[in-house]
Amino acid sequence: MPSKNLVVKTLNELYELMGLSHDIVDQTSGFSILYLQDLFKDYPVSSIPFRPNFFSFLFIKDAFGNYTIDDLSFPMVPGTVYFTNPGNFRKFIWNSVTDTCLVVFTESYLKEQVHPDIYREFSFLLTETVEPRVLTPDQFAIIEELYKFIYREHHGDSPYKNKIIGSAVVTLLLKIKEYFFQAYNPIYEGNRSSQIVKTFKQNLEQHFRDLANGKTDAQLRVQDYADKQFLHVNYLSSVITSKTGKSISAWIADKTIAEAKVMLHDKQMNIKEIAGRLGFLEASHFSNYFKKHTTQSPADYRKQLV
């Protein structure tokens, strides 16, 4: 069985791994919309376990099945809207599909075609596990009009296709926000329930513990923290900044300075040793870094200690 850590970059890649025909999937622009009843022919249809590198919406007008996101499992029934974002482990099984629309898009597409500051305008895109919602018939009818319009434009030949679809996606996201996320607060989730934030903080803490104990002498980059969670670096950066109010670089800098100050209290360690312990190749690099963030050199900081 494939690993739960299998990262799938595109819908085409997923369907290729599942042995499904995917000729109708066009994700060259970073965006695709399709009806699953045009893709699935024999039921049940079961996916491999995977972690997508893209966002997706499922609009289930008439279908039945089950969807697993991380360790939560939800039924798929008529009138349901699903939203998932990059990084979550998931798998699905469709028992029958009569009318279901799938919309997928990348972060790059959102920023280029929908809104350059997409997470400020639609912070709910960063929420980590969204329980599916069953809409009222009137609400679903409004959503259906929007995704049908987007489908027609996506398969049309207008020279303004991307701009038209981008504008329509804004409207779709606003309606989703209205129905689902009016009270969503990313900072609250970051403080209370964000598994991505929790895992990042744990990884950060463990790395500096290993540095302090001499188990490693290498600094971790933002990319390294993203790799630990099987996330795209831009997505992890957006989640951490939105949900904590600080960038990953700021978290690393704060932790580095805090650990450096603790070590500077130990008079038996010279500044070169401290620099090496914290992963700096040269003591001068450490001194410049410390002064940049504290306005004092390590030597001056140590002198003021009682």
Co-location of 174 and 219 in the same domain:
no
Co-location of 209 and 178 in the same domain:
no
Per the structure, the count of domains in the chain is 2
61 lies in which domain range?
7-184
Q: CATH number for the domain including 85?
A: 2.60.120.280
**Per-residue pLDDT of the chain in tens (306 residues, 90 and over written 9):** 455 568 888 888 998 988 888 788 877 778 999 999 999 999 999 999 998 888 999 999 999 999 988 778 899 999 999 988 887 788 999 999 999 999 999 888 888 888 877 877 887 787 766 778 899 999 999 999 999 999 999 999 999 998 999 999 999 999 998 988 765 555 555 555 578 888 898 899 899 889 888 888 888 999 999 999 988 899 899 889 888 878 999 999 998 988 898 889 888 889 999 999 999 999 999 999 999 999 999 999 898 876
Q: State the Cα–Cα distance between residues 150 and 32, nearest whole angstrom.
A: 10
In a domain, 2, yes or no: no
Per DSSP bridges, beta strands 51-52 and 31-35 are unpaired
Per DSSP, the three-state class of 136 is coil
Co-location of 119 and 217 in the same domain:
no
Co-location of 70 and 55 in the same domain:
yes
Pick from 156, 184, 212: which residue ends a domain?
184
